Structure 1
Amino acid sequence: MPLKIEDLKPTEGSRKAKKRVGRGSGSGLGKTSGKGHKGQKARGSGKISKIFEGGQTNIIRRTPKYGFTNKPFKKVYSIVNVETLEKYFSENEEITPEILLEKKIIKKLNDGVKILGKGEITKPLVVKANLFSRSAKEKIEAVGGKTEVIQ
């Protein structure tokens, strides 16, 4: 016999009846509606913060603040790898932060440009940047290029 849509019904116990509170003492949840007498959880919304520890100073306020932050004076450099320079520039070309910005190799100048040594380089280039990693400097100079630190 095929199953018809009108024969479908939930299984026994899968649909629980809603708790009807405050409907007389005979219901079992009358008067205080299952909240007991007085106290914080019996009143209003009865919400207690996750960090509340019954009036004891909570752990967030007990733990000491520690460490040092240099946030207002932190320097953020735009990073360019030597493999990127290899890809976008020809031999003996002069590279400055403004040219990198113009060619959209970097999105923003920030506090300057730092050249890192990821990848290989085969062309001699004249690179002017605010910072160079040791490996980047070695790789650029090994192929006959020049590095110049600008401020």
Structure 2
Amino acid sequence: MELNNIKPAEGAKHAKRRVGRGIGSGLGKTAGRGHKGQKSRSGGYHKVGFEGGQMPMHRRLPKRGFKSHLLKFNAEITLTALEALGLAEVNLVALKQAGAVGELAKVVKVINTGAITKAVKLSGIGATAGAKAAIEAAGGAVA
């Protein structure tokens, strides 16, 4: 192999479409832009959502609602799911390893859904008032 014999891979290079170069090319005269009008002219186009001067949809409809971008860092776990884990001590790392909460979760809270019979010690995890009462009734603790 010599430097003067190196070629690009087959099919890697192809000729660019040259518009406005005569009728034989198939893209002469109007250069594939049709006839007249705003879209046929250079620099002639409109912004996204433009409706010809009519009040656009995104301005006709009312603004409504709000969704916090921080919600993806919050997670919750039920008493039933906590029972199913079968761990004596539960923290954020243990919940992530078990797949009970998402990998992005930073704040986890136990909610009072279902029942719990095993004693579970929570560390670094919140709990609702009802869930805390149920955990303590089962002999567990919320730190």
Mapped partners of 1:87, 1:129: distance in 2? 19
Q: Alignment length, in residue pairs? A: 104
Structure 2 partner of 1:25: none
Structure 2 partner of 1:141: 136
Structure 1 residues 71-91: Cα deviation after superposition (integer angstroms, max 9, x where no partner)? 3x446322221112212225x
Residue pairs, 1:1-151, within 5 angstroms: 55-65=53-63, 68=66, 70-71=68-69, 73-74=70-71, 76-89=73-86, 93-148=88-143
Mapped partners of 2:51, 2:104: distance in 1? 48
Mapped partners of 2:137, 2:107: distance in 1? 24
Structure 1 residue 106: Cα displacement:
2.6
What is the CA RMSD across the aligned residues, in angstroms? 3.6
Structure 1 residue 103: Cα displacement:
2.6
Structure 1 residues 30-49: Cα deviation after superposition (integer angstroms, max 9, x where no partner)? xxxxxxxxxx9xxx9xxxxx
Question: Is the 1:97–1:109 contact (alpha carbons within 8 Å) kept by the matching residues of 2?
Answer: no
Mapped partners of 2:85, 2:68: distance in 1? 35
Name the aligned partner's letter for residue 75 of structure 2: S
Unaligned residue ranges in structure 2 (runs of 5+): 1-36, 41-48
Larger radius of gyration: 1
| TM-score, structure 1 normalization | 0.51
Mapped partners of 1:81, 1:105: distance in 2? 10
Structure 1 residue 137: Cα displacement:
0.9
Mapped partners of 1:109, 1:69: distance in 2? 17
Mapped partners of 1:70, 1:105: distance in 2? 22
SS, match of residue 57 in structure 1: coil
Name the aligned partner's letter for residue 106 of structure 1: V
Distance 1:69 1:77, change over 3 A: closer
Structure 1 residues 105-125: Cα deviation after superposition (integer angstroms, max 9, x where no partner)? 334142222211111111221
